[in-house]
Amino acid sequence: MLPARRIVPLSTLGPGRRRGRIARIEGGPWVQRLLDLGMVPETWVEFVRRAPLGDPLAYRIRGTCVALRRREASAVFVEVPEE
């Protein structure tokens, strides 16, 4: 049986819950750049770390580590298992 899932902003991933699968990206000037970096639906993303001052955030995606600000990360929605 598949566990229940829900959709949360990427920015809510953290040391506790690190991984999620991208569901969609909401509009903004950054969409194409995120897509080009591999942030496309069905791709797994993993939280790596926060910068020392809390922003930006680093994620591992498609074999590379990408840093983006909380604002951009809030526009990416990921599927995570229900707890």
Partner 1 sequence: MIPRKSKPLAAGCHRAFPAIPGAGGSAGPTIALAGNPNAGKSTLFNRLVGGRQHVGNWPGKTVERAEGRLVVENNSFRVVDLPGTYSLFADTPEEVVARDFLLGGEAAVTVVTVDSTNLERHLYLARQTLLLTGRVVVALNKMDLADSMGIRIDCEDLAVRLGVPVVPVSAVTGSGIPRLLKVLGEAAEAWGEGVRNGRRGESSGLPSGRADRERMALELHRWSRDTAAAVSAGGARGMRGCSRDAGRDPEWEPSGGESSRTAGDFSARLDRVVTGRWFAFPLMAVLFGAVLWLTMFGAAPLSALLDRGFSAAAALAEAGLRSAGAPGWILGPLVDGMLVGVGKVISVMLPTMAIFFVLIALLEESGLVPRLAFNADRLFQAAGTQGKHCLSCLAGLGCNVPGVMSARIMKEPHRTIAVLTNSLVPCNGRLGVILPLSLVFFGSGGVGVVAGILLISAAAMLLGTLFLSRVVFRGVQPGFIMELPPYRWPNFRTVVLRTLRERVIQVLGRAVTVAAPVTILIWFMANYPAGAGFEGTAAGRLTAFLGPLGTPLGIPGHALTAVLFSLAAKEIVVGALAITGGLAASLRGSGADPASLLAGWSALEAFNFLLFFTLFMPCLLTAMTMFRETRSWRLTALGLALPFGLAYLFTLASYRIGLVLGL
Q: What is the binding site for partner 1 (CB under 8 A)?
A: 2-3, 5, 16-19, 29-38, 40-46, 48-49, 51-56, 58, 60-69, 71-72, 80-81, 83
What's the CA gap between 20 and 52, in Å, rounded?
Answer: 23
Least Å distance, CB 36 to partner 1, is 4
Least Å distance, CB 24 to partner 1, is 11
Identity of residue 19: R
Least Å distance, CB 56 to partner 1, is 5
Can you give the three-state secondary structure of 8-61, one letter per residue?
Answer: EEHHHCCCCCCEEEEEEECCCCCHHHHHHCCCCCCCEEEEEEECCCCCCEEEEE
